[in-house]
Amino acid sequence: MNPDLVSQLDPLFHPRGVAVIGASNREGNFGRLFIQSLLEMGYQHIYPVNPRGEPVLGIAGYANVMDLPQEIDLAIVATPTESAVDIVQQCAQKGIPGVVLYTSGFGEKGAEGKLQEQEMAHLARKGGTRLIGPNCQGIYCPASRLAPEPGFPKEPGPVGMISSSGFMVAFTARAGARRGVRFSKVISCGNQCDLNAADFLEYLGQDEDTKLIVAYLEEIKEGQRFFRLAREISGTKPIIIWKGGITQRGARAAASHTGALAGSRELWQALCTQAGIVSVKSAEELLDLLVAFYHLPLPKGRGVAIISGPGGPAVGATDACAEAGLHVAELSPQTRRSLGSFLPATGTSVDNPIDMGMGTMFSPQWYGEAINILTQDPSVDMLLIISPGRSDFSQSIVESVKRSGKPAALATTVLLSEEEREHLSSQGIPSYSDWRRAAMALAKLAEYADFVNGKI
Amino acid sequence: MNPDLVSQLDPLFHPRGVAVIGASNREGNFGRLFIQSLLEMGYQHIYPVNPRGEPVLGIAGYANVMDLPQEIDLAIVATPTESAVDIVQQCAQKGIPGVVLYTSGFGEKGAEGKLQEQEMAHLARKGGTRLIGPNCQGIYCPASRLAPEPGFPKEPGPVGMISSSGFMVAFTARAGARRGVRFSKVISCGNQCDLNAADFLEYLGQDEDTKLIVAYLEEIKEGQRFFRLAREISGTKPIIIWKGGITQRGARAAASHTGALAGSRELWQALCTQAGIVSVKSAEELLDLLVAFYHLPLPKGRGVAIISGPGGPAVGATDACAEAGLHVAELSPQTRRSLGSFLPATGTSVDNPIDMGMGTMFSPQWYGEAINILTQDPSVDMLLIISPGRSDFSQSIVESVKRSGKPAALATTVLLSEEEREHLSSQGIPSYSDWRRAAMALAKLAEYADFVNGKI
């Protein structure tokens, strides 16, 4: 991997100053929204630029890029499409290391826009400036107090993200935060006219603050390089990708969203498997797996023990685990005897899945006891726990799971409030509203563990 | 369909009196829980039975089934396994038309238990008594104020349900209610030793209060009869079924849960297609489709228009619709012109998917305007709407959709609170936390419409 890229991009993620070009006090002005977001994060070194050099939200403004002070490492450009090329040229002349081009109306509009993108990339490089975008929201880096929208979490964490969609950045940052997930560096990369997803992957691969990478991508430019890098990085940092525009009609939509070109589901899946990329199909699945990979240790094998109070979900979870490629563990006679020592003889089953029956309503501590016994069985590499999710259940589960050191996912029902589910996830036990989703998350974790251990 | 079955089962769903056999005041006694549930629903005619004839929760008790008054149409039996056969015999002698056998420890425990089940079914029939169970929770019928657990909704509605799992009854009734779904008659059928799922299907098929049927089933007894009935009923009442125990290992779990025998995914799917059954794979999908079929009219074809504020989800939803077998509609030039007349030229797309861009943040009424235009395009049979789901958005969407008379599903993100999502669903617009789930719900609706119209 290229260390020069790191020194080139580091200033963009840790800028001494940020210019916001095209910012005004007008209602609905997106430059102003960027400034609001930076202020909310506590970032101090903001330089608004607009034709009259007016102050924005009380911060002194500049009429011209050339008038800006020298210590500016990042310019966010939110001007009309017509002026964007000129502005990029000025930023390059000024020697600003990085430009986030929020402005849209280029490659996603057709051939002429693509030519303009090439021109901008050329102009930028001549001045040693790197471009993010156009048609993007740029950078979220809580450690540096950068955010593209208000309401982003302020605490940093180990997740890096690359996204063709600004919305997916906001979605993942906010929804992830509710489940205890925090971020290192997040890039909304838009049309990728200069810096592309491969560049950001290479950067995040070398970034010490990043331990786990997620991406929503509509186009992979420099495909060979991208997958070579992914294979290199995924051995130590899991990479979870949702590819948008994978159907013919979806690709047409992607073209008018970010100017992307098409792929195919089969090709994509084959490339991912080879590169150790964890591939997902929706925003919800991306979040499901992000939370699992964030919180859980890797399992040593594919053996799963399923623990349930109600019997119906135990059957459904068993189907889901089997169909997801997990092995529903064959428990030792000793394990079954131990379970049978405290569970009633009727309305229960000590075969795997463990059906503890209706009695759990009155004896929530059975969950903890069963987990303690099951995690000592060598055939059990991980746990899928189905619980009504009341707090008296949760405490017993959290403590026993933590003691075991084995990964566990909780499947509760939608009867559990979103708040309770978030609380459990933030305690290190990913919690899902459906046992099929929990089984899928555990299965993907096991697949990745196999990749890391060289079994795939 | 057999009208005798209706006259035989009607008393069970509208009982003049309910005996609860095995009820005591002891903490954790399940008979007492049944009585609590009946009282909570407002049911008055309860007759507790226990060895000493003690009152339960202040209601006069009886020491013996034979001492009970004549006007009892339903007995709920929650005695130990050992005494259940005798109790069933007494109920039959007494001429009670229906018994819900909550007691477990029969067929799910092996061959001996299966023999006992046969004996009980035989004893019951001799006395003209019909048995539900064993190992079941029996009946939820809000119109008659019957419920098996506390906390069930009191208002009746048009959904009938049959379930091998008592938990799935509670889950579906409670979670469904939050999305505006209400129930006619729900049966937790357990091991099905006498009355089985085919009987209840035949009953619900003839029940005027039931317009839509859902089921969670681990075993289909009398398979030929079941599928013949399903095909007959599904032409007018949609039938949504989740089959548990479909994998080999899941079937083993089902056997120890309700004594069920195995099937296979392929065979199951083929049978469902032939019978017009809407087949689902998880509790969440069951709920997703129940809400869609409950609230939405059937589409006239497979053409879908996708409307979004953010562009990333528009691409993802397009992939999801295409992969689910929907046709992403080709809009007429007139429709595009009308959309283009109020949407900005950059950062948007009037091709389907309609990407209305970031401006929707300030102009939520664009949703309503776009829906009004799109639903007049003859290529558009249904709508998939992606919205941040703030209430200012919702109002504009709800009104325009209702005016159009076309089915619409809303995909919001998990950033929308569960309460807001529930509010939208209860307004007749099913709301999903992922566009892939919304696409799946619309696709299943279109498939069912094709079946009803004889295209499948």
A364-418 pLDDT per residue, tens: 889 999 999 999 999 999 999 998 666 666 777 888 999 999 999 998 765 666 6
The per-residue pLDDT for range A204-236, each reduced to its tens digit, is 999 999 999 999 999 999 999 999 999 999 999
Residue of A nearest to B81 (CA): A346
Contact between A322 and B135 using a beta-carbon 8 Å cutoff: no
Transcribe B8-39 into DSSP letters. HHHHHHS-S-EEEET--SSTT-HHHHHHHHHH
A:230-259 residues touching chain B, CB 8 A cutoff? 242, 244-250, 252-254, 256-258
Q: Residues 74 to 133 of A: which have CB under 8 A from any B CB? A: 81, 104-105, 108-109
CA closest to B28 among chain A residues: A362
Average pLDDT score over residue span A58-68? 97
> In sequence order, what are the beta bridge partners of B278?
B240
Is the pLDDT score of B434 beyond 70? yes
Q: Cβ distance A362 to B30 under 8 Å?
A: no
Q: Point out which residues pair with A156 in neighbouring strands.
A: A183
pLDDT category of residue B263 using cuts at 50, 70 and 90: low
With a cut of 60, say whether residue A262 has pLDDT above it: no
**CA–CA distance, A195 with A275 (Å, rounded to integer):** 22
Task: Give mean pLDDT, residues A30-44.
Answer: 97
pLDDT of A223: 92
Which amino acid makes up residue B342?
A: F
With CA atoms as reference, report the closest residue to A164 among A185, A135, A141: A135
Tell me: the pLDDT tens digits for A318-359? 999 999 999 999 999 999 999 999 998 877 889 999 999 878
> Span B146-150, mean pLDDT?
95
What pLDDT is stored for residue B388 in this prediction?
A: 67
The whole-number average pLDDT for the span B282-301 is: 96
Q: Which residue has the higher pLDDT, B266 or A35?
A: A35
Give B263 or A182, the one with higher predicted confidence: A182
Cα–Cα distance between B15 and B118 in angstroms, integer? 25
DSSP-assigned letter for residue A62: B
Phi-psi category of A233—alpha, beta or left, where left has phi over 0 and alpha has psi -120 to 50? alpha
Q: What does the alpha-carbon distance between residue B128 and residue B96 come to, in Å, rounded to a whole number?
A: 8
| Minimum distance, in Å, between the CA of residue A437 and any CA atom of chain B | 9
Q: Which two tokens stand for residue A193?
A: 């006219």
pLDDT score of B416 more than 80:
no
Contacts of A45 (CB under 8 A, 6+ apart): A15, A16, A17, A18, A71
d(CA B415, CA B411) in angstroms, rounded, equals: 11
pLDDT at B266: 84
Whether the predicted pLDDT of A263 surpasses 90: no
CA distance A130 to chain B (A): 23
The mean-pLDDT minimum among A302-311, A349-358, B343-352, B391-400 falls in: B391-400
Residue B183: alpha-carbon gap to chain centroid? 8
Nearest residue, CB atoms, A315 vs list B245, B322, B436: B245
The rounded Cα A222 to chain-centroid distance in angstroms is: 22
Amino acid at residue number B148: P
- Average pLDDT of chain A? 92
The pLDDT assigned to B250 comes to: 87
State how far the Cα of A145 lies from the Cα of B361, in Å rounded to an integer: 24
**What whole-number percentage of chain A has pLDDT above 90?**
77
Select from A167, A175, A256 the Cβ nearest to the Cβ of B349. Answer: A256
The set of residues, in sequence order, having a beta carbon less than 8 Å from that of A388 and lying 6+ positions away, is: A309, A310, A360, A361, A412, A413, A415, A416
The confidence score (pLDDT) of residue B267 equals: 87
Nearest to B246 among A257, A319, A346 (CB): A319
Residue with tokens 């890039």: A187
Preferred mutation among B249, B266, B289 to probe A, highest tally of A CBs within 10 A: B249
Residue in chain B closest to A252 (alpha carbons) equals B315
Query: Is the CB of A66 inside 8 Å of chain B's CB atoms?
Result: no
For B115-143, the pLDDT digits (tens) are 999 999 999 999 999 999 999 999 999 99
- For the segment A291-313, the average pLDDT, to the nearest whole number, is 93
- pLDDT band at residue A260 under the 50/70/90 scheme: low
* Model pLDDT for residues A158-173, shown as the tens digit of each residue: 999 999 999 899 999 9
pLDDT in the model for residue B169: 95
Q: Which of residues 373-432 of B touch A (CB under 8 A)?
A: 413-415, 417-418
| Chain B nearest-CA residue for A257 | B311
| ipTM given for this complex | 0.89
Q: What are phi and psi of A423, to 5 degrees?
A: -60, -45
CA angle B25, B31, B35 (to 5 degrees): 85
Please give the residue of chain A at the shortest CA–CA distance from B174.
A415
Are B253 and A312 a contacting pair at CB < 8 A?
Answer: no
Token readout for B350 is 């009037």
Q: Rounded to a whole number, what is the largest CA-CA distance in chain B? A: 82
pLDDT at B251: 87
Lowest mean pLDDT among A452-456, B239-243, B372-376: A452-456
Q: At what angle do helices A333-340 and A365-374 cross, to 10 degrees?
A: 160
Query: Are B257 and A437 within 8 A, CB to CB?
Result: no
Mean pLDDT, rounded, of chain B = 92
CB nearest to A216's CB, from B312, B323, B436:
B312
Tell me what pLDDT residue B294 has: 96
| Of the partner residues A178, A250, A413, the one whose CB lies closest to the CB of residue B318 | A250
Among chain B residues, CA nearest to A165 = B312
Rg, Å, chain A Cα set: 25
- In chain A, the percentage of residues whose pLDDT exceeds 70 is 96
The pLDDT of residue B391: 65
**pTM higher than 0.80, yes or no?**
yes
Side-chain half-sphere exposure of B211, counting CA atoms within 13 A: 9
pLDDT in tens, B355-379: 998 788 778 889 999 999 999 999 9
What mean pLDDT is predicted for residues B267-271? 91
Whether B287 contacts chain A with CB within 8 A: yes
Tell me what pLDDT residue A371 has.
96
Distance from CA of B316 to the nearest CA of A (A): 5
User: Taking CA atoms, what residue in A is nearest to B363?
Assistant: A28
The strand ranges marked E within B218-358 are 239-243, 278-280, 303-308, 327-328, 354-355
Instruction: Find chain B residues with C-beta within 8 A of A437's C-beta.
Output: 282, 284
Scored b (16 or more CB within 10 A) or e, A298-318 reads: bbebbbbbbbbbbbbbbbbbb
Q: Which residues, numbered 150 to 209 in chain A, qualify as contacts with chain B under a Cβ-Cβ cut-off of 8 Å?
A: 163-168, 171, 174-175, 178
Q: How many CB pairs under 8 A join A and B?
A: 217
With a cut of 80, say whether residue B90 has pLDDT above it.
yes
Flag if A104 and B167 touch (Cβ within 8 Å).
no
- Rounded distance, CA B5 to CA B200, Å? 9
Q: What is the pLDDT, as a whole number, of residue B392? A: 63
B7 in reach of chain A (CB within 8 A): no
Residue of A nearest to B418 (CA): A418
Query: CA nearest B447: which of B330, B329, B331, B280?
Result: B280
